[in-house]
Amino acid sequence: MAQKNQQNKTAVKASITGFRDSLDKLEVDFRTTPELQPYYIKLAGVAAGAADAEALAGTNQFDKAGRKLLDVVNHLTDALVAMRQNF
């Protein structure tokens, strides 16, 4: 049971790392694509939030990491709403 728990923790940590990597790329895309630049301000900081969650998960603070990821998702939602209002 302990081994399975450790495997699950490792998988969660890897998932958060992959999510952070994707958000890093997304921020770069928004910053460097002229059509997306107006929305960058709404998106800025999501990768940093995911990095915070990654650090929390790295210290086995999974509840706090999950809450931080919820903040990131809310931030992403705000960016999508802003984009939708302009289309």
Residues 41-72 pLDDT 10s? 999 999 999 999 999 999 999 999 999 999 99
Dist. CA 16–CA 22, nearest whole Å: 10
Q: Give me the sign of the Cα torsion angle 47, 73, 18, 24.
A: negative
Could you give the percent of the chain with pLDDT greater than 90? 91
By C-alpha distance, which of 70, 34, 79, 37 is closest to 52? 70
Please tell me the pTM assigned to this model: 0.90
**Domain definitions of the chain by residue range:** 2-85
CA 60 to chain centre: 18
Look-up of token digits 């999950």: 66
